[in-house]
Amino acid sequence: MPQFFYNKRLMIILATIILFVVLLGYSLNSNRKLSFPEKFVKDTVSLTEKIFNKPAQYIAGLFDNMSDLQNTYKENKQLKAKLDRYVELSVKEKAYEKENKDLRDLLNIKNSIQAYNPIEATVIVRDPDNWQQIVTIDKGESSGIQADMAVITSKGLIGKVKHVSKFTSTVQLLSASDRTNRISAKIQQSKDIYGLIEGYDVENQTLLLKRIPSNAKVTKGQVVVTSGLGGVFPDGLPIGTVTKVERDEYGLTQTAYVKPLADFDDINHVIVAKSTIHDLKTGEGK
C-alpha cells in the first residue's frame, strides 16, 4: 500500500512538470493569439499604468520643481547679498575718493596760506536746527585757535570762529542770519571794488555783498575774495562769484548776489587761518 501511494505521487509530479513545460512553450510562441485571461490581465495592467503613471510623474515633477525653486531662492538670496555688498563698497569707495580729493585740495590751500599759520580741523557736530548757522570743529584754544579767525574749506571761505573752548570751537557760517555777521570783501578786477558781506539770501542761496559804490561796474561772474581790511581776515581768501547786481531804492549803493564757492551743506574738513591781528594779540610775529 505505501508503495502504491509513492508511485502515485511520483506520477502526479511528473505530470505537473510536463504540463508546466507545455504551458511555457505555449506562452513563448509569438505567433499564437492571446487567450481571454491573458488579454484581460494585459489590458488591466496597461490601464493601471495609465491611471497611476501620470499622477506619479506629476508628483515627482512637482517635487523636482519645488527643489529647483528652493535652490533658485537660495541663489537669488546670495546674489542679492553680494549686490548689496557691492553697492555698499561702491558708496564707500566714492566717499573715500571724495574725502581724499577734499584733503588734497585742502593741503594745496594750506600750502598757499602758510603765512597765516593754518590749522587743520574736522567738523564734529552740526545742529540740524541751525543747519545754516553754526558747526563745531575739533580744535580749540589748545591748538591756538581764537575768536574771529577765518575758517575755509578747499573751495573757499565758510565763516569765522565764534566761540572757543579748550578743545573745540564753534564756527559761525557766512549763511548765518546774525546781523553782526559781516565780512569785508572785494570784487577782483583791475581796480578792486570793496563792500561788506552782510546777510544771506536763502531762496537763491547767495551771499549779499552790500555797500558797493553806485558808480562801480560790477558784472556777473566776477570773483569775490576777502579784502584783509581791519586785519581780522587774511587778504585774498576766495568767497564766491557774482550772479547778479541790484541798486538800492535810492540809487546810492549797489548789492551784488554772490554764489559761494564752498558748499555750506557739505562741510567736513576745514582750515582755520590766523591774521596779523591775532599774532599781535598773542605777541607772535614780532
Q: What homologous superfamily is domain 114-282 in, according to CATH? A: Rod shape-determining protein MreC, domain 2 (2.40.10.350)
Contact (Cβ atoms closer than 8 angstroms) between residue 256 and residue 202 = no
Nearest CA to 243 out of 192, 181, 187 is that of 187
Contact (Cβ atoms closer than 8 angstroms) between residue 117 and residue 274 = yes
Q: Could you list the pLDDT tens digit for every one of the 286 residues in the chain? A: 555 555 677 777 777 777 666 665 655 554 556 565 655 555 565 666 556 556 656 665 666 667 777 778 788 878 787 777 777 777 777 766 766 666 666 666 666 566 678 899 999 998 887 777 899 999 999 999 999 999 999 888 999 999 999 999 999 999 998 888 889 999 998 899 999 999 899 888 999 999 999 999 999 999 999 998 877 788 889 999 999 999 988 888 999 999 999 999 889 889 998 765 555 455 444 3
- Pairing, β 193-201 against β 206-213: antiparallel
pTM confidence score: 0.61
Helix or strand or coil: residue 282? helix
